Amino acid sequence: MINKNFLEVQFLSLILLFSIINICTNSSEYTRPLSSSTYRFDSSGDFRLSNQNSQGSINVSSDDELAAVVIEGLGTKEDPWIIEGLTIIANESAGIFIHNTTKYFVIRDCQIETIRDEYHGIIILGVKPGTASVVNNTCINSKYGILINNSGSSLIVNNICNSNSQGIHVVNSDSCTILNNVCESSYIGIELLSSKFAIVENNSCNANSLYGIHFGGSYYGSVWDNLCTHNEVAGIRFWGSSYCIIENNTCIYNSEFALKYSHSRGGNISNNLFSLNGYDGIFILHSSENVFKWNRLVNNSHRGIYVKGVSASNIFHHNNFIDNNQVPQAYDEGQNTWGWNYWSDYSGTGFYSITGSSNANDPYPLAQSATPGTEIPPGYDLRIPIVNSLAHYPETPSLTDQITINLNISDDSGISNVILYYIVRGEHSVDDQYFSIAMTASIDGTYHASFGPISKKTMIDYYIIAVDASEFKNKILQWGDTIHISETNTTASTSVIFFPSIFLLLIILVSFRLRVRKF
């Protein structure tokens, strides 16, 4: 007779084997991250090298391995190791892949082409900051022409990165310099993600199917003197990248926008030529506290500047709006300040009215083109109000609580008005909308507004827009912390405790009666 324990062991073994097979089968659904492993190509078919002097990929994962492939140098800052003059047909994950090194090195004058679209030209991954320089190379027909990952202060200069998915891609690498490169006919010319303090200067990023230059989550960057033409969406796109400088760039003949600027604040956008684009010169979305000055917005098919969404406290001064097709030549549905701009369609008297729900206007339109370097005349207050505190009470309200928003704000010119905007968000809700309430000032200068109770919803987002009492009506937009509504309240908690307590008391009484009868 078969032992019962033996059958149980066999059954469990089959379950374990099935689980392992299932995991291995499904693992192919996920993208493998970059690592030191290589991906070999079976060259037994029809593949032929395009150059008889070409060689295969270089893969380096240590200083010793790097020393074995360089042609000269000592690996110091003054005398770096040199990889030079190679023609590579990449038959692995990248033509040149260098990672986990600490010595100084330069990759220069190499020509790299890949045999598969998912391969890369040059990858620099996890090297010591400031040690990598990639100079005067040509990288074509790859996923990333040049990829810099977790390798800060790298130098990327004078490269040609055409016909790639992305020409130059920098991620998690602060203080990199990208200078004098040509990145054309790719999906994105130059892209920086989560990389602060970058310098992107004097590059040509043309005829890309999305953006010429893209910053995502990259703060304190500088984008200077670049040429971005004939890109399908925008010459330059910024998303979630605050406190950056965008200056002296030429963005012309892009299919939609010269500059698409969203979810960013504290930027300085100045002295750019944004002309002959298929829609707006500058499109701004959910961005606040930026300065736009000395820009030339000429002959764009829609408007020179279009401000949309929750955008406040931006200042637009001494820009030149010339012959953009839509009149008025700017649109603003935010809360922003306009002054001393030149408008080619200005009648010569009064304000220049700006279309949009904010009813904005330029109170000091110029009669002649604005000159770069001209600032706002002294004596005009363009300072925005200062929010000292913004909070809600109760901290975690229940479904039956009224919610109060408390604001402490100050401004040298005084506060004209404060509006609270809030939205009640719920799971799978399709009808969410912002509601507005005028906040009331107290004797001590604080402002308050209340709403609620809120039923059936779980979360509230809110912000305030405050306007000062100066002639420019300077504004600030300030978000508050998300309010999380508790599903329970005091009554519900009491009932949950009360009924089990009654039930327990009944059990004790029945037990007591049974004991009495027994005796």
Which whole number is the average pLDDT over 429-434?
62
b/e map of 124-154 (b: 16 or more CB within 10 Å)?
A: bbbbeeebbbbbbbbbbbbbbbbbbbbbbeb
Beta-ladder partners of 239: 216, 262
Residue 381 has pLDDT above 50, yes or no: yes
- 200, with CB counted inside 10 A (0-12, 13-18, 19+), is buried
Beta-ladder partners of 98: 60, 124
Percent of the chain with pLDDT over 70: 82
Provide the greatest CA pair distance for the chain: 111
pLDDT digits (tens, 9 = 90+) for 484-502: 888 765 434 444 444 444 4
**Is the distance from CB of 198 to CB of 175 less than 8 angstroms?**
yes
pLDDT in the model for residue 191 = 98
> pLDDT confidence of 141, banded at 50, 70, 90?
very high
pLDDT in the model for residue 514 = 47
Residue 52 has pLDDT above 60, yes or no: no
pLDDT digits (tens, 9 = 90+) for 55-106: 789 999 999 999 999 989 999 999 999 999 999 998 878 999 999 999 999 9
DSSP code string of 332-372: E-SEEEEES-EETT--SSS-EE-BSTT--EESS-BSSPPPT
Question: From CA 305, how far away is CA 279, in angstroms rounded?
Answer: 10
Report residue 153 as tokens: 């202060």
Q: Which amino acid is at 264?
A: S
**Is the distance from CB of 70 to CB of 83 less than 8 angstroms?**
yes
Which whole number is the average pLDDT over 392-399?
90
pLDDT digits (tens, 9 = 90+) for 314-348: 999 999 999 999 999 999 998 899 999 999 999 99
Question: From CA 443, how far away is CA 8, in angstroms rounded?
Answer: 79
Residue 370 has pLDDT above 80, yes or no: yes
Half-sphere CA count of 516, side-chain side, radius 13 A: 6
Percentages of the chain per state (helix, strand, coil), in multiples of 5: 10, 40, 50
CA dist 294 → 30, 177, 291, 506 (Å): 48, 25, 10, 82
